[in-house]
């Protein structure tokens, strides 16, 4: 295996993964903080480093529409967006998933307006959690790069055929320069292999219809198939993650367990904040406190059983949500995690912390505060407040 250690921002790392994947079509519209992905990729196209047909469109709605057409035609298709761009794609996200098109999209997570804000939170992708897309979340540039390469394999698998969204935190990952490993171009190409065709529209000898009217007598069967495909994606995510590890030295699963095995106080989170939580866990461990982290990678499909099994011996759990679900009982991650834990005989007490909205800093002191609460919760077994807002001025 030949690798190459580089210093790169998350956006440039993602653009390089796209260069190595060499998709047939990319249709995109720039939006902060994902702009650099397509800007750098457009340079690769202009310099002849890829064979991609780059389609410059008038909006994100058109970007996803063009991706849908190109994917149905039989192409390997990628794009990137953020926040309001993702929101403008909304209608087409469901159409991509419902038509079972294996489009791979980078979502550089950013807060949704209003008030207008360009910085990191997860409200964009969390809002799209029911659109039928697989969601893989990244802690850093390396993971965003690795996830994107694996996403191509997962999306195109015959029994899956679903679009995949690779999420990375806006600015924190997208614009920070990190040390990471770029894989060898040929090895990436060998790993993903040629595009897997499934009734491509351009096969004019075998004409098929995409997207016909589907009323009361068939629609529900097609939705049932989508639900099934999400479940079938689970073993594929594991298989591809293990093969990636065997080939390149970094294995991936549904989640990462960091000092979790004997942990009593556990934080469940996703995205870049996990790096900060790990630092705090290390120092707590030095003080003899059994702290640990479960970093979720696959939010869709949600690995409920596996997650519950990994958390069953915790004494107290804090879920970190970088998005709110206004009017719900806690953030989107909390709802899922608590629901998964409910099937345990003795579910550990679990609380939610909504934090870091609109790029609000989330530091070591904030994580220490969460662990202080967990110490109390482990003792008493009951929280006075289950859904909490932190990193906010009272």
Binding positions for another protein, rule: CB under 8 A: 98-101, 161, 199, 206-212, 214, 217-222, 224-225, 228-229
As measured in angstroms, the least distance from the Cβ of 223 to another protein is: 9
Query: DSSP 3-state assignment of 353?
Result: strand
Six-digit token string for 139: 């802690």
As measured in angstroms, the least distance from the Cβ of 339 to another protein is: 25
Six-digit token string for 377: 């919760």
Give the number of other Cβ atoms within 10 Å of residue 125's Cβ.
30
4 vs 231, beta carbon nearer another protein = 231
Query: DSSP 3-state assignment of 110?
Result: coil
As measured in angstroms, the least distance from the Cβ of 222 to another protein is: 5
As measured in angstroms, the least distance from the Cβ of 132 to another protein is: 11
208 vs 344, beta carbon nearer another protein = 208
Query: DSSP 3-state assignment of 255?
Result: strand
Strands 255-258 and 291-296: antiparallel
As measured in angstroms, the least distance from the Cβ of 219 to another protein is: 8
As measured in angstroms, the least distance from the Cβ of 200 to another protein is: 11
CA distances from 216 to 155, 225, 372 (A): 28, 15, 53
As measured in angstroms, the least distance from the Cβ of 74 to another protein is: 13
226 vs 313, beta carbon nearer another protein = 226
72 vs 167, beta carbon nearer another protein = 72
Q: Is the dihedral of CA 107, 272, 19, 29 positive or negative?
A: positive
Place of tokens 């397509």: 38
99 vs 247, beta carbon nearer another protein = 99
**Spatial CA neighbour of 296 closest among 180, 171, 136:** 136
235 vs 249, beta carbon nearer another protein = 235
d(CA 170, CA 36): 11
225 vs 283, beta carbon nearer another protein = 225
Strands 3-9 and 291-296: unpaired
d(CA 297, CA 153): 16
As measured in angstroms, the least distance from the Cβ of 16 to another protein is: 32
As measured in angstroms, the least distance from the Cβ of 207 to another protein is: 4
177 vs 208, beta carbon nearer another protein = 208
Six-digit token string for 366: 């904030």
ω into residue 322 within 30 of 0, thus cis? no
196 vs 285, beta carbon nearer another protein = 196
CA angle 260, 173, 297 (to 5 degrees): 35
Six-digit token string for 370: 């969460």
Give the number of other Cβ atoms within 10 Å of residue 245's Cβ.
14
């Amino acid at each position: 295996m030949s690798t190459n250690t580089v210093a790169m921002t998350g956006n440039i790392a993602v653009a390089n993964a796209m260069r190595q994947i060499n998709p047939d079509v990319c249709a995109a519209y720039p939006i902060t903080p994902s702009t650099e992905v397509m800007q750098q990729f457009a340079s690769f196209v202009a310099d002849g480093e890829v064979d991609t047909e780059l389609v410059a469109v008038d909006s994100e709605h058109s970007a996803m529409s063009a991706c849908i057409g190109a994917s149905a035609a039989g192409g390997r298709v990628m794009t990137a967006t953020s926040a309001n761009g993702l929101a403008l794609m909304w209608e087409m996200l469901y159409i991509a998933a419902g038509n079972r098109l294996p489009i791979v999209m980078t979502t550089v997570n950013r807060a949704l307006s209003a008030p207008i804000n360009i910085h990191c939170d997860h409200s964009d992708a969390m809002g799209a959690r029911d659109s039928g897309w697989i969601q893989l979340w990244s802690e850093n540039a390396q993971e965003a790069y690795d996830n994107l390469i694996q996403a191509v394999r997962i999306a195109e698998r015959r029994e899956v055929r679903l679009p995949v969204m690779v999420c990375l935190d806006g600015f924190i990952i997208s614009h920070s320069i990190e040390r990471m490993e770029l894989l060898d171009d040929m090895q990436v190409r060998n790993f993903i292999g040629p595009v897997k065709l499934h009734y491509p529209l351009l096969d004019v000898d075998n004409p098929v219809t995409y997207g016909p009217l589907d009323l009361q007598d068939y629609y529900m069967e097609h939705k049932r198939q989508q639900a099934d495909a999400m479940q079938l994606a689970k073993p594929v995510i594991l298989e591809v993650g293990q093969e990636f590890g065997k080939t390149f030295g970094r294995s991936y699963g549904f989640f990462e367990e960091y000092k979790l095995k004997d942990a009593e106080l556990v934080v469940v989170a996703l995205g870049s904040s996990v790096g900060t939580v790990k630092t705090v866990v290390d120092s707590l461990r030095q003080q003899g406190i059994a702290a640990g982290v479960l970093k979720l990678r696959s939010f869709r499909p949600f690995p409920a059983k596996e997650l519950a099994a990994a958390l069953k011996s915790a004494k107290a759990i804090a879920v970190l949500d970088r998005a709110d679900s206004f009017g719900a009982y806690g953030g989107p991650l909390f709802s899922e995690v608590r629901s998964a834990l409910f099937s345990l005989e003795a579910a550990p007490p679990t609380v939610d912390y909504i934090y870091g909205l609109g790029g609000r800093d989330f530091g070591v002191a904030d994580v220490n505060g969460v662990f202080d609460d967990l110490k109390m919760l482990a003792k008493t077994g009951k929280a006075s407040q289950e859904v909490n807002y932190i990193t906010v001025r009272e």
